[in-house]
Amino acid sequence: MTDSPDRDGVAVVIGASGGIGAAILDRLRDRGRFHAAIGFSRPELDLTDEASIARAARVVADAGVPSMIVVATGVLHRPGMEPEKTIRALDAGAMAAAFAVNAIGPALVLRHFLPVMPRERRVVFAVLSAKVGSIGDNRLGGWYSYRASKAALNQILRTAAVELRRTHPRAICVAFHPGTVSTGLSRKFAKTGLQVQEPAEAAAALLDTIDHLEPSHSGSFLDRFGSPLPW
C-alpha cells in the first residue's frame, strides 16, 4: 500500500503561472491536503537565474518540510524561437535557451531543493517532460531543440533517482508526459485528431497518479495515468 500524502507537508509548484502549473496549484489548494501549497513563477523564480531558485528553496524551508515538488515548466516556442522542421533551421542561441529552461533549470531546482527535502519521509519530485523527448518513440523527427532538451531532462531525473535511493530512500523522482494540453505552449501545434485536454483535466490525472506512486517508481518516465513511456 502506498504512503498517503503527508498532510503536514508543503506542496510546491514551480511554473505556477502556466496553464498546467496553475491548474495543479489550484487543485492542491482545493484539496486542502497539505499544510501549505506554494506556487512560484517568473520573475520570482526564473529557471535561468540560479539565485532566484536558491531564494525560493529558502522560502519553502521556512514554510515547512516539502512533501511534493512539481516543476511544471517548459519552452517550445517564443518570439524568435520556433520548433525546427529541419536541421538546417538549427540556431545555437535558440537551442541553448531550450536547454536552459527545459533541462538545466529543473536540474538546478533539484540541486537547491534537495537540502530541504526530508530524508526519511515520502517526498515526490516530479517534472513535466514530454513524449517527444523519448528517443525510442521518435519516428517523426524534427523539433531538435525541444526533443533533445526534454531527453536531457529525462536523463537528469533518471540519474538523480539513483542518487536519491541512497540518500533519500522514500523519495520518488519522476518525469511525466502530461498529454496534449490546451495551453500556450502546445495550442498552435495541436493536430486534428489528438486528444486535447483542458489544464484542469491534466492536473487532476497527474495528481491522482502522484498520490499512488511508491519509491519503486522513482526514476520512471510516465504518462499522466502512470503508464511507463519508452526512454
Complete domains list, the chain, with CATH: 10-223 (3.40.50.720)
DSSP secondary structure string for all residues of 81-109: B---SSGGG--HHHHHHHHIIIIIHHHHH
> Are the C-beta atoms of residues 112 and 54 closer than 8 Å to each other?
yes
Q: Tell me the DSSP string of 145-189.
A: HHHHHHHHHHHHHHHHHHHHHHH-TTEEEEEEE--EESSTTTGGG
pTM (global) more than 0.75: yes
- Chunked into runs of 10 residues, the chain (231 residues) has average pLDDT values of 59 97 97 94 98 98 97 95 97 97 98 97 97 97 98 98 98 97 70 77 97 97 98 96
Helix-strand-coil split of the chain, %, nearest 5: 45, 15, 40
Task: For Cα atoms 98, 100, 104, give the angle at the middle one, nearest 5 degrees.
Answer: 125
What pLDDT is stored for residue 7 in this prediction? Answer: 58
Please report the pLDDT score of residue 182 as a whole number: 87
Residue 129: closest CA among 214, 50, 228, 61: 228
